[in-house]
Amino acid sequence: MKVLIVGGGGREHALAWKFSLSPRVKKIFCAPGNAGIAALAECVNIQSDNVPAILDLVRSEKIDLTVVGPEAPLVAGLVDALEHEGYPVFGPRRKAAEIEGSKVLAKEIMLKYDIPTAWYGVFDNAEQAASYIKKIGGPCVVKADGLAAGKGVIVAEDVDTALASVDLIMKQRAFGAAGDRIIVEECLRGEEASILAFTDGEHVIPMLPAQDHKRVYDDDRGPNTGGMGAYAPAPVMTAALQKEALEKILIPTVRGMAAEGRPYRGILYAGLMITDRGPYVLEYNARFGDPEAQPILMMLESDLADVLEALLAGELNQVDLRWNSGASVCVVLSSGGYPGNYRKGDIITGLHDMPENVMAFHAGTGLKGNQVVTAGGRVLGITALAENIPAAINLAYQGVSKVHYEGMHYRKDIGKKALK
């Protein structure tokens, strides 16, 4: 079969790598791809949200399966456009993907279907939001309603920080139209975890629980990013908590979306806070997380092509997901200055010196002649598979030590919470 992967980040490189291991996949295309993906797939210079051009590519190359990586093309309706012409495509339709595209919609779904989440207020007026913050006090969380590449959530420990966050989002327009509305919500305390599941709209099969590291600096300091590293499985999600998340969050969300006329098929990602009251939903994503996809796909033993084919046929209940034993850890290498302004075009060395069982998944990379150079905020995801989390951490950082480029930044504490 011919597979098209839409996107050009670390998640898409991990998907391309996983499909390359399937005996059923004969050729992989990627739009637009990156320097690492180019070693596995034919990269086509089409941006991921260019729906007409992707449709033309699927037609001309007679693609058997399209897999949509990022959120923007999902919210733009790429799945709907391909389905309308009869092409098999993996990912939720536009109305379902809005559970990520609008945090307000997600909150309304959770409230209506009794899915545990923080209490909140919704505002399209900065002054009203400021009055609410002054009334409730700190700490609180301020969120842009729309898509903001994982950076539109600000945890404010005090009132002044919360008010400055409202100003940043609604007046300075830091995230553009994504900040037309904001949510101000209760600050939940606990440890974060991510639970992703495959769903065909009726059946729900969870993957291994993972933990992302959102803040740019060690010990969860600094601004939020798209993710500075991840590992799986996350021991904070015990078997009992995984069962609770399935029964109280994932299944009710899929059923609730169906009841709202938004049937959900694809990957449902619930970002959780594990509180002393149990798991609470912080946010939903409508696709694989990045960087969670990297360790999860390293751990997945099953053929991804088989899993997705069963899902699209509505036969997910016939799939027995198989996982490798042990653990996987991904350390993200970013450009200096990220998530703010950063430079591009620095030459990357050491990519071919990875230890055994370590993958250097490319995120923001490009080619300058025959040299790989930095081309984004998050540059690489060095991802290791080992017999347990301590060994995987050690192996991943061995891989990190091989890589060099000017201004390289990474966290040195990825997986540390698991060691507790």
CA dist., res. 228 & res. 58, Å (int):
33
CA-nearest of 339, 377, 385 to 231 is 385
208-227, pLDDT tens digit by residue?
999 999 999 999 999 889 99
The pLDDT of residue 91: 98
Q: Are 268 and 284 spatial neighbours (Cβ–Cβ below 8 Å)?
A: yes
The pLDDT of residue 128: 95
Taking every pair of Cα atoms in the chain, the longest distance, rounded to a whole number of angstroms, is 60
CA dist., res. 415 & res. 83, Å (int):
40
The pLDDT of residue 105: 96
Listed in sequence order, the residues at least 6 apart from 409 whose beta carbon sits closer than 8 Å to its beta carbon are 216, 333, 334, 335, 336, 338
Q: Above 80 in pLDDT, residue 150?
A: no
Q: Above 80 in pLDDT, residue 271?
A: yes
> Across the strands, what pairs with 30?
5, 43
Identify the three-state secondary structure at position 213: coil
DSSP secondary structure code for residue 248 in this structure: I
The pLDDT of residue 377: 97
pLDDT bucket at 383, cuts 50 / 70 / 90: very high
| DSSP-assigned states of every residue in 110-152 | HHHTT--B--EEEES-HHHHHHHHHHH-SSEEEEESS--TT--
| DSSP-assigned states of every residue in 338-357 | TTS-----PBPB-TT-PPTT
Identify the three-state secondary structure at position 14: helix
Domains of the chain listed by start with CATH number: 2-91 (3.40.50.20), 119-186 (3.30.1490.20), 188-420 (3.30.470.20)
Tokens of 245: 């998340």
Beta strand 27-32 pairing with 42-43: parallel
13-56, pLDDT tens digit by residue?
999 999 999 999 999 999 999 999 999 999 999 999 999 999 99
The pLDDT of residue 148: 85
Prediction pTM value: 0.94
CB atoms closer than 10 angstroms to residue 343: 12
Mean pLDDT of 344-367: 97
